[in-house]
Amino acid sequence: MTAPAEGARDGAFMRIALGHALAAGEAGEVPVGAVLVCGEDIIAAGGNRPIASHDPTAHAEIQALRAGGEALASYRLNDTTLYVTLEPCVMCAGAIVHARVRRLVFGAWDARAGAAGSITNVFTLPGLNHRVDVFGGVLMHECARLLQEFFVPRRE
């Protein structure tokens, strides 16, 4: 269970991730944002950019992990927490494990592509050499609403 102080901290960093998601949505991307934190410091952030970058791997999580690796001068992101507004897909979940992120905190669940429990759970696969502590549903309604508001006019 998350302690009250940690829960408030998680909410504060998720609000920052929501800001990056909003910026991605305003740029025409699916509004997903991510923030990578070490201690109390944000070391990297990102928003979805696959459309603008012509890169199918340019999800918010990947953007934040890449920038975090640069900031720490290492591909190992030990003792970090990744905040992301949407449950990671299989690709992003695998990258989070390989980067050795300590904690993952996400907002909305993704019933179509979520790999932290919705359609599969990459983080519990046997044989992986690293375990990530995963917490879902932080500011879930705000994160889900942003996605819903983005997709409604595109589906009409």
How far is the C-alpha of 125 from the C-alpha of 129, rounded, in Å?
10
Is 61 considered catalytic here? yes
116: which strand partners? 121
- Residue linked to tokens 């390989």: 98
Candidate list 6, 61, 87, 149, residue with the active-site label: 61
Phi-psi region of 73 (alpha: psi -120 to 50; beta: other; left: phi over 0): left
Q: Which two tokens stand for residue 1?
A: 């269970």
Give catalytic residue positions.
61
